[in-house]
Amino acid sequence: MDSRDPPTTAEGWYALHDFRSIDWDGWADTPDRTRDRLLDEAQAFLTDALDTDAGQSAIYTIVGADADLLIVHLRPTTADIDALDRATQRSTLGRLTDRVDSFVSVTEASGYSDRFEAAIEGTGGEGIQSYVDSRLYPTIPDAEHVVFYPMDKRRDPEQNWYDLPFEERSAHMEQHGEIGRKYAGKVTQMITGAIGFDDHEWGVTLWADDLTDVKDLLYEMRFDPSTSQFAEFGPFFVGRKIEPSDLPAVFAGDRIAAAGDSGAGAGSTGADDAAASGSHGHHESDAGSAGSGPHGHGGEADGHPGGDTDAHGSDAHPDGEAGEHPSNGGDGRPETVDDPFDQIEATDDIEAVLVRFGVDPPADGGYVLALTADADASELNDAVAALRSNFDHYDSHLGTYVRASGGETRVISCWDAERAATTAAGFLLDLDGVTGGVRGPIAGTAASATETADLDDLDVFAGRPRDDEVTALVAFSEADPDALADALTDQPFADRAGHHETTVYREHGGGSAAVVTLWDELDDAGAVADALDRLPGVEDRPDDGYTTLGLFYRVQPDHREEFVATFETVGETLAEMDGHRESRLMIDVGDDTNTFIDSRWTDRESALEFFRSEAFRETVAWGREVLADQPRHVVLADPE
């Protein structure tokens, strides 16, 4: 009979989850004068345990269950774990408590891809290598709650995980990871392997500030076939993070403040599938990280690119498999590659880069990478497209693009938070020809525009394009463009301070016209709003409220007809979008390469959805080849 192919695994630090119960009867009989001394000694022991150059330790109170405390140790060798175990038993803390459960395991990474296996062998790129290292040598997060549970893969005759073909297991892991990716930034996970160590195969440790995030994650995973058909679970432990200084409050039965109050974190052990398998606290989860979206750390709930283990499902990925131990550094961690962020210069003006390369800033803000590339933009597209499809699994991913301007190529990747961008940077820097760049936060915008003016009862629109130094006032009119031009001769705008230019536009294929006047500041522009409102045939602004977008484009002369034809095609797409009222192409009467699109929507969200749409992205990408300069996008009217 043929045997199945197992995924390669890599191991890192050894882990001990030590569950202890306080001897409450003995404590009640202890004289008050003795209690302070015992607590001081117990605090000193725990403080020493937390102060380590190689590995980490953390302490949690346990809510419910038979245990009162959980001490988690991560160390490079079994000798280190063994010494800690015996030292605890001999310490004052050991005399005040009894061990009720324990779980011995080793941090593990495994998976189902050649790229991950290359990282284990030391031949992978920096991004995947950093991710693997973070899984094998994790940092315990400062989250309030911890949840721990052991698990196995089912070996029933009709549902035997280990009898599935490699490809089928890989597909299960990928699907399972899709769920976890939704929780990136909310739930952090550590998977430790215990096959041959314990009655269970894996241990799953989850950290979160909001315990209901763990519940939501595990509840959703229950419906995934890799869990519903192939997973078995042991007991669940839930706890809150504490410090050694909190021990007196623990033994006094006092309330311990959360991290935001007095610095006590929390650890709560929740469960993935609170299902049966009742052995003692050891369980190992055939799993990967649970979470969503790239993040700087190797264990955020399926939320990072990386490998997976059979237990929980693949992480967000570039997935992977693992094999041997990377070499250890002096602090117990391997000699890891440099932080990818060190290769990318921080800037406070990342929006200027976006404007230069024609990428609209994320509407709700976020963090942006703008990486330089030696390769031609067209050569990068396929490689970036592969990563983009991977990144799109994460809610934290806002868009990744290849852009060229002035002979320079950039890979621009937008994320909702810096932590997500941190992990993505490693994968992007692995691409051939990508060599650093700039990075920085970006504030929220509304359809890439700000400062919509309130002109009360006037039939005049106003707004300031994002990252621009002018304010635009617009009046739409049913009058002939020549009549508008004649009327403007009586308005000496050019003599006023702050004036840039005033232009008359006619509607392509229609009878409307518009006057657009640009000013330094809204106060300057406001002084001429009355004059615009008195122009002949000015259209009334509807009373029912809507969002109007002004999309200003200057087209290269040779592409003018192509631009107009594309607008007509895009107009057909817009007509089918929810919330779209109308869009008109307006053309400068004195320069037919100078245009703007008046696009009207029933509400802000519908307009923003248009900006986020693939159709708009494709149009913007095409526009880079035909536009003579950077576009201006401005909200001209907004009921909000």
Q: What is the 3-state secondary structure (H, E, C) of 264-296?
A: CCCCCCCCCCCCCCCCCCCCCCCCCCCCCCCCC
Q: Is there a single domain that holds both residue 205 and residue 95? A: yes
Q: Is there a single domain that holds both residue 148 and residue 188? A: yes
pLDDT band at 204 (very low <50, low <70, confident <90, very high): very high
262: helix, strand or coil: helix
Cα distance from N-terminal residue to C-terminal residue, the chain: 69
Q: How far is CA 103 from the centre of its chain?
A: 32
421: helix, strand or coil: helix
- Count Cβ neighbours within 10 Å for each residue of 219-239 and write b for 16 or more, e otherwise: eebeebebbeebbbbbbbbbb
In DSSP terms, which residues pair with 501 in a beta bridge?
Answer: 518
Q: Read off the CATH number of the domain in which 28 is found.
A: 3.30.70.1030
Q: Is there a single domain that holds both residue 409 and residue 486? A: no
Which of 212, 237, 252 lies at the terminal end of a domain, its last residue? 252
- Count Cβ neighbours within 10 Å for each residue of 112-133 and write b for 16 or more, e otherwise: bbebbbbbbeeebbbbbbbbbb
Q: Is 467 in contact with 368 (CB distance < 8 Å)? A: no
149 assigned to active site:
yes
Between CA 530 and CA 589 the distance in angstroms is 23
Range of the domain at 522: 471-636
Q: Is there a single domain that holds both residue 484 and residue 579? A: yes
Q: What residues have CB less than 8 Å from 423, skipping those under 6 apart? A: 127, 130, 131, 294, 295, 296, 297, 304, 305
pLDDT of residue 390: 72
pLDDT of residue 340: 63
Q: How many CB atoms lie within 10 A of CB 626?
A: 15
One-letter amino acid for residue 345 of the chain: E
| Residue 539 belongs to a domain | yes
Between 60-64, 231-235, 386-390, the lowest mean confidence (pLDDT) is in 386-390
| Residue 448 belongs to a domain | no
Which of 227, 252, 277 lies at the terminal end of a domain, its last residue? 252
Q: Is there a single domain that holds both residue 71 and residue 148? A: yes
Q: Is 113 in contact with 319 (CB distance < 8 Å)? A: yes
One-letter amino acid for residue 522 of the chain: L
Of the residues 14, 112, 149, 394, only one is catalytic, namely: 149
Q: Is there a single domain that holds both residue 431 and residue 571? A: no
One-letter amino acid for residue 496 of the chain: R
pLDDT band at 524 (very low <50, low <70, confident <90, very high): low
Q: Is there a single domain that holds both residue 220 and residue 362? A: no
Give φ, ψ of 233 to 5 degrees. -125, 145
Q: Is there a single domain that holds both residue 512 and residue 427? A: no
Q: Read off the CATH number of the domain in which 368 is found.
A: 3.30.70.1150
Between CA 162 and CA 169 the distance in angstroms is 9
Which of 219, 237, 252 lies at the terminal end of a domain, its last residue? 252
Q: Is 99 in contact with 302 (CB distance < 8 Å)? A: no
Q: Are strands 408-415 and 397-405 parallel, antiparallel or unpaired?
A: antiparallel
Q: How far is CA 448 from the centre of its chain?
A: 20
Token pair listed for 155? 């070996």
Between CA 633 and CA 466 the distance in angstroms is 7
617: helix, strand or coil: helix
Q: Is 414 in contact with 429 (CB distance < 8 Å)? A: no
- For residue 341, give the DSSP letter: G
Q: Is there a single domain that holds both residue 478 and residue 427? A: no
Between 5-14, 39-48, 357-366, 409-418, the lowest mean confidence (pLDDT) is in 357-366
180: helix, strand or coil: helix
Q: Output 609 or 93, whichever has higher pLDDT.
A: 93
**Closest C-alpha among 297, 293, 319 to residue 393:** 293
- Tell me which H or E stretch contains 418: helix 418-429
The pLDDT tens digits of the residues spanning 482-508 come to: 888 888 876 666 667 778 888 999 999
| Residue 290 belongs to a domain | no
559: helix, strand or coil: helix
pLDDT of residue 546: 62
The pLDDT tens digits of the residues spanning 608-639 come to: 777 667 777 677 667 667 888 777 777 776 54
The pLDDT tens digits of the residues spanning 315-367 come to: 433 333 333 333 344 455 555 445 667 789 998 878 878 867 767 777 678 89
pLDDT of residue 40: 93
42: helix, strand or coil: helix
- For residue 364, give the DSSP letter: T
Number of folded domains in the chain? 3
| Residue 261 belongs to a domain | no
Q: Read off the pLDDT of each residue in 43-67 and give the average, rounded to a whole number.
A: 91
pLDDT of residue 66: 86
Token pair listed for 427? 């994968």
